[in-house]
Amino acid sequence: MSDEKYSVPRTDGNDDPMTLDRREFLKLFGGGIVIFFSAGDMIFPQEPTRLQTGRGGLPSDFNAFLKIGENGRVTLFTGKIEQGQGAMTVLPLMLAEELEVRPETVDIILGDTDLCPYDGGTFGSLTVRSFGPPLRAAAAEARVVLMELASEKLNVPLDRLEARDGAVFDKSRPQTKVTYADLAQGKAIARQAKQKPALKKPAEFKVMGKPAARRDALDKATGKAQYAGDIRLPGLLYGKVLRPPAHGAKLKTLDTSAAEKVPGARVVQDGDLIAVVHEQPDVAEAALAMIKVEYDLPPADLDDKNIYDHLIKAAPAGRAAAQGGNIEEGAKLAALTVEKQYLNAYVSHAAMETHTAVVKIDGDKATVWSSTQGPFRARDSVAQTLKIPTQNVHVIMPFVGGGFGGKTASPQAVQAARLAKITGRPVQVAWTRADEFFYDTFRPAAIVNIKSGISSEGRIVFWDYEVLWAGERSSQQFYNIPHHRTVVRGEWGGGGGAGQGGGHPFEVGPWRAPASNTNTFARECHIDIMAAQAGIDPVEFRLANLSDERMKRILRAAADKFGWTPAKAPSRRGVGVACADYLGTYLTTMAEVAVDRSTGRVQVKRVVCAQDMGVAVNPDGAMLQIEGCIMMGLGYALTEEVHFKGRQVLDLNFDTYELPRFSWLPKIETVLLDSPEVPIAGGGEPPIITMGAVIANAVHDASGARLLRLPMTPERVKAALGSSS
Amino acid sequence: MTDIIQFRLNDKSVRLEVDGERMLLWVLRTDLGLTGTKYGCGEGYCGSCTVLVNGEPTPSCGYPVKNVAGKSVVTIEGLAKDGRLHPVQDAFIKHEAMQCGFCTSGMIVEAVGFLQKNPRPSRADILKGMEDHLCRCGTHNRVVRAIEEAASGMKGAVPK
Ligand code: FES
Ligand code: FES
């Protein structure tokens, strides 16, 4: 193996590539065998496409590597992070499978910007879906390297060798063997995964697809797991930042005298940043509350009531995301036409851990602990703030207490960095719950307009679909419809900003399964409305209008488990169905609800979710994620909606912004179907997207009331009951 | 306004010189370095900060530290005894009753306190007992299962 040079794009604005040879790299990481690889979602779509590297000046075109150390232990280094989705458990399983080692011998280092190569961030189920196959390929390649070395060492031809349990054996004489540790001993081999070694077939799996205990369980059950707010450093100060009453508010008068009198408190004013630091976080907060401040508020023209009128008017022209046949032709074939408008609210991420960061500055270097889904983005923003080179900032990832798309940027790390610089001490900034609601990048409120028609035989003949402000994902329908059109207007806000043309009163951003919740709600409600109007059972109606066999299979699997019996809706049984295709994961959800006619409260009694995600790498983990999605989905379906007036966010805590609770817990049953022939899809998010529609459809079946707007609050349910009777 | 407050914390006696009006949560997390107890809302809405005060599950974010004088406080760090986890901790691990884990300390502590009072809870009792605890990751189903198992285990009964 030659010592070829790696070309490294620099991150400091200088375009001359740095080079680093393999030996230098291995010096950084010790001896052994290293395989670099790149996973599909290296780059966040909003980021410039230039790749960046960690401080080590590593090769450029990879975002992960694995190392077989001289002691035989295997380490996976990746810029991905653990936010509860189980990455730290699942990724080592995949690696162990292809490398032929026991999972216990695999360590994983996540999101450390000095040790791990650049990564754009961890978003939802992307980790398994796009990271998994390249990781497995790299592990398989490492196995090939080891077998080649073994062949030399044992003097046995390759085809007579077999790798198993961290060693290579002569198939015919198993006592002739050499361990990976022995093979890695004294070696300094670095390879980039290039070949496409054959991956194992599901039938050959030894560890993937079998239950595996979470690696973080013990630490989380004993309080040992450290989150950003749990980092304690000598001299640490706690900073609390003054939050304006509304976005766009302008500071008029400021009186910090009372706060300054609090012993040990220091008031910091640095441009737009007004904060109090103290050695006790609660004292800092109490002192902050003593600051007297007046603002000029922006006009309070928009609120949570008139927002849809505004968004409809402000929606930019669209583009066709999917099209087939001719809508006018289709309309001629229709015996029955249905036209509806669906509304979905702004919702908050509301992770239980608020945004938190600790920054410590030493000379021209800084160390950052941040609750973020994007450690490299945190590194870059802190470097920019402190005006130091990116490679001088080291982000260390603690556990993250939930992200759901809300922790992609690290504004709190920037605040902590500014305060650390000014005070000359390490500073922690942990947002209060009210800060968290205020600065959140909400899932955008959205509108879907659908006009469709069915023939006298119950076939959908045309489908004219328009989505405003939610974005494209899951808007393409998968039914067998000859004439259809899907138009997307007002793109999803991406990584921040107020959407296309600034249509939203505050920043919006990704929220678990961006866009898909809205599009699936609208589509699957509309399908049900057509079925009801045609007097056909909603499952039969779907089956008759589907030609995709995988979708039919998952629908039947759910119906089987649920014990679905055909009836025309409303059947007064309170049952509902919804189907979805989320980036290759197929699913059907069925639910049973009870509607209290006097209060308008909906109780979801039972949910069956059937999911076909290729092969579940860790079925236990997948079930846990499905259950989590179902519980989280109850929130946006029934209560969650951001209240606002002008650019003021009225929700300050969980009293007005209601999250799902234990008393809401339905009986949950899950069915996982294997589809070995399809690539492994992610399981972290899909089941959340059907929750709005399946409950709306079940509410209609229970009561005859059809809700076209989420969340289905008791008031809205009562109103709909009133108009349906 | 420094007060001298003595109490038992995780079976050890503690003497603190602090402003007694400060909330227990911050004294635990900052002065005493016990960071397993979490801040989720600061106003009694989420349960992340739950500790046992004389065996009673209590949100520490709204509990002035002067009120613990002469009492016994148990936090998540104090549940394991002689290197053995509490059965509720074991059950949470076994049933993977956690994802991001941020709500987990509060849930476990609540469940421990709750089972002491009601060792044979029905499912409905468990839902009611845990109602004030929020979990954004949606681990509710596992938490209920874990508590059911811990309850049957602690009684030495055969799980149904
Ligand atoms: S932090 Fe105490 S109840 Fe939420
Ligand atoms: S496990 Fe994340 S909030 Fe409960």
Give me the pLDDT at residue A620, please.
Answer: 73
At B18, is the secondary structure helix, strand, or coil?
A: strand
Using a CB-CB cut-off of 8 Å, the residues of chain B touching A665 are: 127, 140-141, 144
CA–CA separation, A580 vs A578, rounded Å? 7
pLDDT per position as a tens digit, A211-248 = 778 889 999 999 999 999 999 999 999 999 999 999 99
Nearest to A126 by CA among A188, A41, A214, A53: A41
C-alpha A353 – ligand 2 centre gap (Å): 9
pLDDT classification of A40: cutoffs 50, 70, 90: low
| Separation in Å, CA of A30 to nearest CA in chain B | 32
Question: What atom of ligand 1 comes closest to residue B41's alpha carbon?
Answer: 4
Q: Are A76 and A106 in contact (CB under 8 A)?
A: yes
Euclidean distance between CA atoms B25 and B111, whole angstroms: 19
Distance from the CA of A104 to the center of ligand 1, in angstroms? 36
Taking the CA of residue B61 as reference, the ligand 1 atom at the shortest distance is 2
Cβ of residue B41 lying under 6 Å from some atom of ligand 2: no
Measured CA to CA, the distance from residue A641 to residue A713 in angstroms comes to: 10
Nearest to A352 among B25, B34, B134 (CB): B134
Of residues A209 and B7, the one with the higher pLDDT is B7
Name the residue at shortest CA distance from atom 4 of ligand 2. Answer: B135
Residue A362 has φ and ψ, to the nearest 5°, of -125, 105
* Chain B residues near residue A228 by CB distance under 8 angstroms: none
Q: How far apart are CA A354 and CA B41, in angstroms?
A: 9
Q: Which of A48-57, A185-194, A285-294, A542-551 has the lowest mean pLDDT?
A: A48-57
Least CB-CB distance to B141: which of A216, A621, A668?
A668
Confidence of residue A495 (pLDDT cuts 50, 70, 90): very low
Q: A702: which residues sit within 8 A by CB, 6+ positions away?
A: A570, A572, A573, A574, A593, A594, A595
Q: Considering only CB atoms, which chain A residues are within 8 Å of B33?
A: 232
Cβ–ligand 1 contact at B47 (below 6 Å): yes
* pLDDT on residue A280: 97
Sign of CA pseudo-dihedral A445, A400, A231, A223: positive
Contact (Cβ atoms closer than 8 angstroms) between residue A77 and residue A168: no
Q: What is the pLDDT of residues A524-549, one digit of tens each?
A: 999 999 999 999 999 999 999 999 99
- Ligand 1 near B39 CB (within 6 A): yes
User: Confidence class of residue A510 from pLDDT cuts 50, 70 and 90?
Assistant: confident
Instruction: Calculate helix-pair angle for B104-117, B140-154, nearest 10 degrees.
Output: 40
Burial (CB count within 10 angstroms: exposed 0-12, middle 13-18, buried 19+), residue A620: middle
Residue in this structure with the two tokens 């866009």, named with its chain if needed = A515
Q: Do A351 and B93 touch (CB under 8 A)?
A: no
* B79 C-beta closer than 6 A to ligand 1: no
Ligand 2, residues A219, A227, A352, A662: which to mutate, most atoms within 8 A of Cβ?
A352
Instruction: Provide the shortest C-alpha distance from residue A399 to chain B (in Å).
Output: 8
ipTM of the complex: 0.96
Lowest mean pLDDT among A54-58, A93-97, A119-123, A708-712: A54-58
Question: Are B108 and A232 an interchain contact pair (Cβ–Cβ within 8 Å)?
Answer: no
Which of B18, B136, B144, B147 should one mutate to test binding to chain A, selecting the residue with the greatest count of A CBs within 10 A?
B136
Inspect the interface and report whether the beta carbons of B39 and A226 lie closer than 8 Å. Answer: no
For the CA of B107, the closest atom of ligand 2 is 4
Express each pLDDT in A86-102 by its tens digit.
888 888 998 999 999 99
CB contact under 8 A, A400 and B76: no
CA-nearest of A674, A11, A672, A59 to A377 is A11
Contacts of residue A305, Cβ cutoff 8 Å, sequence gap at least 6 = none
Q: Count Cβ neighbours within 10 Å for each residue of B17-44 and write b for 16 or more, e otherwise.
A: ebbbebbbbbbbbbbbebbbbbbbbbbe
Cα–Cα distance list, A446 to A45, A487, A503, B121 (Å): 22, 14, 11, 44
For the beta sheet containing A266-270, the strands, ordered from the edge strand earlier in sequence to the opposite edge, are A266-270, A273-278, A237-241, A427-430, A356-362, A365-370, A393-396
Look up the CATH number of domain B3-78: 3.10.20.30
Q: How far apart are CA A188 and CA A70, in angstroms?
A: 10
> Can you read off the two tokens belonging to residue A706?
């059809």
Q: To 5 degrees, how large is the angle CA A511–CA A514–CA A520?
A: 125
Q: Is A221 in the pocket of ligand 2 (CB under 6 A)?
A: no
* A375, A333 contact by CB (below 8 A): no
Of B41, B95, B104, the residue with max ligand 2 atoms within 8 A of its CB, to mutate for a pocket test, comes to B104
CB A694 within 8 A of CB A589: yes
- Enumerate the CATH 3.10.20.30 domain ranges in chain B, comma separated: 3-78
> What percent of chain A has pLDDT above 90?
65
**pLDDT averaged over chain A?**
87
Cα distance between residue A210 and residue A102, in whole Å: 13
Task: Please state, in angstroms and rounded to a whole number, the distance separating the CA atoms of residues A302 and A100.
Answer: 59
Ligand 2 pocket test target in B107, B130, B132, B137 with most atoms within 8 Å of CB: B137
For A422, counting Cβ atoms within 10 Å of its Cβ (0-12 exposed, 13-18 middle, 19+ buried), the class is middle
Question: Under an 8 A CB cutoff, do A402 and B130 touch?
Answer: no
Specify the DSSP class assigned to residue B78.
Answer: G
Reported for A179-184, long-range contacts at CB under 8 A and 24+ positions apart, including other chains, are A179/A72, A180/A68, A180/A72, A180/A74, A180/A101, A180/A146, A181/A69, A181/A70, A181/A71, A181/A72, A182/A153, A183/A33, A183/A68, A183/A146, A183/A149, A183/A150, A183/A153, A184/A31, A184/A32, A184/A33, A184/A68, A184/A69, A184/A70, A184/A72
Q: Which atom of ligand 2 is nearest to the CA of B138?
A: 4
Closest chain B residue to A636, measured at CA: B136
What are all long-range contacts of A590-594, with beta carbons under 8 Å and residues at least 24 apart? A590/A558, A590/A559, A590/A561, A590/A562, A590/A564, A590/A694, A591/A666, A591/A694, A591/A695, A591/A698, A592/A698, A593/A695, A593/A698, A593/A699, A593/A702, A594/A702
Q: Which CATH class is domain B87-154?
A: mainly alpha
**Confidence at B137, pLDDT banded by 50, 70, 90:** very high
Q: Which atom of ligand 1 is the closest one to the Cα of B46?
A: 4
Q: Which atom of ligand 1 lies nearest, measured to the CA of B50?
A: 2
Query: How far apart, in Å, are the Cα atoms of A572 and each of A373, A576, A599, A638, A668?
Result: 44, 11, 18, 20, 21
CB within 8 Å: B136 and A224: no
Give the pLDDT score at A44. 34
Instruction: For residue B139, list chain A residues with Cβ-Cβ distance below 8 A.
Output: 624, 627-628, 631
Task: Measure the CA–CA gap between B98 and B52, rounded to whole angstroms.
Answer: 21
| Dihedral sign, Cα of residue A398, residue A402, residue A404, residue A408 | negative
More confident residue, A116 or A705: A705
pTM: 0.91
- Could you read off the pLDDT of B24-54 as tens digits, one per residue? 999 999 999 999 999 999 999 999 999 999 9
Mutation pick from B137, B139, B149 vs chain A, by most beta carbons of A within 10 Å, is B137
Q: Does A223 contact B75 at a Cβ distance shorter than 8 Å?
A: yes
Q: Which amino acid is at A326?
A: N
Q: What is the DSSP letter of B132?
A: T
User: A433, B41: Cβ pair inside 8 Å?
Assistant: yes
A468 vs A47, A291, A447, CA distance in Å?
A: 24, 42, 5
Phi first, then psi, for residue A570 (nearest 5°) are -80, 125
| A83, A433, A651, A662, best to mutate vs chain B, most B CBs in 10 Å | A662
Range(s) for CATH 1.10.150.120 in chain B? Answer: 87-154
Ligand nearest to the CA of A282: 1
Q: Does the C-beta of B64 come closer than 6 Å to ligand 2?
A: no
Taking alpha carbons only, the member of A480, A485, A544, A522 closest to residue A329 is: A485
Distance, CA of A721 to CA of B77 (rounded, Å): 50
Integer Cα distance of A3 and A24 in angstroms: 10
Dist. CA B52 → ligand 1 center (Å): 14
Q: Whose C-alpha lies nearest to ligand 1, atom 3? A: B44
Q: Which whole-number Å values give the CA distances from A21 to A34, A66, A70, A194, A447, in the listed order?
A: 13, 17, 20, 18, 54
**Mean pLDDT value across residues B83-105:** 95
Domains of chain A with bracketed CATH: 5-219 (3.30.365.10), 228-297+368-430 (3.30.365.10), 307-346+442-724 (3.30.365.10)
| CB spacing of A621 vs B79 below 8 angstroms | no
Contacts of A430 in chain B (CB under 8 A): 39
Answer for the pair A207, A93: CB distance below 8 angstroms, yes or no. Answer: yes
pLDDT band at A581 (very low <50, low <70, confident <90, very high): very high
